[in-house]
Amino acid sequence: MKMERERKDKLYREFARIGKCLSSPKRLELLDLLAQGPKSVDQLAKLTGMSIANVSQHLQTLHESRLVRFNKKGNFVIYEIAELSVADFMVSLHRLSEKQLIEVQQLKAEVLQEKAGMEPIALEELRKRMDRGEVVLIDVRPEEEYAAGHIPGAISIPIEELERYLETLPLDKEIVAYCRGPYCFWSAQAVEILKSKGMKASHLVEGVHEWKRYAAHS
């Protein structure tokens, strides 16, 4: 019994290593960003508003818990998630947090309410309408994130380049925009731009990893 108790205590200490690692909001943000594709320390510093030193420190903690890995390309150190299960975990964390925490629900609702007329489209509906050729799906994340993985059939048009590409989009179809997932609001911004030009548009709340989960179980 004593040996069994010791093993169980050791097991939960190991679980706690991951929990402690994820206790930082900034480390959670870094994992979300890396789930979209590999990034350099410099890129992560710019995206999070942190110093390179702080980003490096957080990445070291994530690396010690084996949630991320890195390799060197010339003078750059490139980080990525250790495996896809880390991205799956982040999706589950988002869903649990939104279900259990009213504060998360309120923050999400506030942002979407600011974007007047935002009509989300569900994954199942998107797939049906794409199969029928009724919609054009655009990925408004940076090109390197699109290259790392995207929803099949999506066109890469980074949000900062959208207005330049408006003339290339069909007027007789609805444009559906998506970005990094439920807590990325570039897709809502894209819909605002498209609607201001008289185009029919909606946004997909989910991102690439939510799509993969859906596709795997449908």
Strand order in the sheet with 76-81: 39-40, 76-81, 68-73
C-alpha–C-alpha distance, residues 102 and 121, integer Å? 23
Contact 33, 39 (CB under 8 A): yes
Which residue among 91, 177, 179, 201 is the active-site one? Answer: 179
Whole-angstrom Cα distance, residue 135 to residue 213?
22
Asked about 184 being catalytic, the answer comes back as: no
Question: Roughly how many angstroms between the first and final C-alpha of the chain, as a whole number?
Answer: 45
Neighbours of 2 (CB within 10 A): 6
> Alpha carbon 182 to chain centroid distance?
7
Catalytically active residues are 179
